[in-house]
Amino acid sequence: MKKITGFLFVFTVMFMLNMNICAASDKSAEPVTGSALSVTEPVKLGIGQEYELIDDEYQDLCDVRCKSSDDSVVEVNDNGCIRGIAKGKANVTLSIDGNKAVYKVSVKNTGLPYPSYNIPKGETLRIRLNGNDRIVRWRTDNKKVATVKRGYIKALKKGDARIRAYTKTSVYSIDIKVTPAKKSVIYLTFDDGPSYSSTPKILNILKKNDVKATFFVINYDSAGEKLIKREAEEGHTIAIHGYSHDYGAIYTSEKAYMNNLYKLQDKLYKTLGYRMWLTRFPGGSSNLVSRKYNKGIMRRLVKTVDKNGYAYFDWNVSSGDAGGVHTSGQVYKNVVSGLRKNRDNVVLMHDFSGNAKTVNALNAIIKYGKSHGYEFRAITDSTAQVHHNVQN
C-alpha cells in the first residue's frame, strides 16, 4: 500500500479514526486544525489503563512518534499507545510524518492499584480493579514467568511478564517482575497506632536500620495523619486494624464489623490516595472475646472479609507487649525465641502510646535478625497470609 503523508492524513486519522484499540477512555479526543494540532477534550485514564491514539493499520504506513511530558504520569510508546501510571496530568504529543497533535491526558485513582509490581517467586498476588469496570478476562504474555486466573497472579520463574485485564470497555495492564524466592523473613508489624509518643521513635529506629515494617492502624486525628503519611513516604505498609478497637461495638454483627473496616479504609484513602486491602482483626481471628457479643461471628467474618477483597493477617510470633510483659528484655526474648528459619515470621508488636518497652527492644531485635541471616520486609499484597485457627 502506498504510504499516505501530509496534513490530510493526520487530520483524518486524528479526527475520524481516533479510536481506542487498547482500551476506551471516558472521552474521545477531538483535534483541531493547525500546524500542531491541539486536543480540547482530555483523554481520561485510570492506573494501568491503555489507550491507543492511532489505529494499528496505520502504524506501519508512516513515521509515528509519541512523547509524554511526564513519564511518571503517562507512559507512551512509538506505536501511539499510552498508559496511565499515576494520578496526575500530562500532555502527550503524537507526531505522524512531522504533523503533530497534542493530547491532554489526566489519570485518576481508578483501575489497577499500581502499574507495576515486584513479586518473589512462589508468591501469589491478588489484583483488585478499582472502579465500575467489570473484568471480562485476564491474560499473561509470559506463562513461564507468571500465570493469572481471576485476578490471582502466581509467580513461577524469575523474569518479566505483562498481565492484562480486559473489561467490556477498557484494557488495563500491570508489569510483573518475578524476583528470587524469599527464605527466612521477619515481618515486623505494629498494631493500634499511630501515637505521638511511640510511633515517631519506632520510625526513627526503622529508618536508621533501613528496615521496612507494617502498621495496622486505627482511627487518627490530624497529628496522626502526619505520622501515617510519614510511614507511607518511608516505604512502610499501612494496613487496616479498624476505625474502632471497641470489641463490644465491632463484634456485635457482621454489618457492624464491615462498616468499621470500610470507615477506616475510606479515611485512609483520603489521606494517602489509594485503597488498603490488608487488615488484621482486633484480637486476631482466634479471639474469644467476640463470643461474648456474637457467637460464631469470627467464622463468618473470615469468609466475609475475603469475599469483599481483603486479606487478613494474624501472627506467628508474639512480643507479648500488650499482655503481661513489662520490660524491654522480655519483649526481646519473646520475639527472638519465636523466630524460625525458612518461613515468614509475622511478629506482633504495638505502637500505642507509652509503649517504651517495645521501643527500647526494637533496635536489639533488628540487630539479632540481621546477624542471624533473616531478611526484614513489609507485608505486601502478595505476602502469604498467616492465619490462626478460628475459635468462635
- The CATH number that applies at residue 54 is 2.60.40.1080
Considering the domain boundaries, does residue 388 fall inside one?
Answer: no
Instruction: Say whether both 159 and 274 belong to one domain.
Output: no
- Identify the pLDDT of residue 276: 93
The mean per-residue pLDDT over the stretch 227-231 comes to 98
Provide, for the chain, the percentages of residues in helix, strand and coil under a 3-state DSSP scheme, each rounded to the nearest 5.
25, 30, 45
The residue among 76, 110, 144 that closes a domain is: 110
**What is the tens place of the pLDDT at every residue in 93-130?**
988 887 888 999 999 999 999 999 999 999 999 998 88
The mean per-residue pLDDT over the stretch 2-16 comes to 37
The mean per-residue pLDDT over the stretch 152-164 comes to 97
On the 0-12 / 13-18 / 19+ scale of CB atoms within 10 A, 174 is buried
Instruction: Say whether both 104 and 48 belong to one domain.
Output: yes
97 touches 71 (CB < 8 A): no
**What is the tens place of the pLDDT at every residue in 267-295?**
999 999 989 999 999 999 999 999 999 99
Instruction: Say whether both 291 and 221 belong to one domain.
Output: yes
- Identify the pLDDT of residue 80: 84
Q: Which residue has the cell 520490660?
A: 327
- Identify the pLDDT of residue 134: 76
- Identify the pLDDT of residue 105: 95
Instruction: Say whether both 16 and 64 belong to one domain.
Output: yes
**What is the tens place of the pLDDT at every residue in 378-387?**
999 999 999 9
Alpha helices in the chain (DSSP H): 7-16, 56-59, 199-208, 222-233, 247-250, 254-272, 297-307, 328-338, 356-371
Considering the domain boundaries, does residue 391 fall inside one?
Answer: no
* CATH number for the domain that contains residue 366: 3.20.20.370
Q: Does pLDDT of 34 surpass 70?
A: no
- Identify the pLDDT of residue 44: 93
Considering the domain boundaries, does residue 83 fall inside one?
Answer: yes
Q: Does pLDDT of 30 surpass 80?
A: no
**What is the tens place of the pLDDT at every residue in 320-350?**
999 889 999 999 999 999 999 999 999 999 9
Q: Does pLDDT of 39 surpass 70?
A: no
Residue 72 belongs to what domain range?
7-110
CA-CA distance, 373 to 375, in Å (whole number)?
Answer: 7
- Identify the pLDDT of residue 128: 87
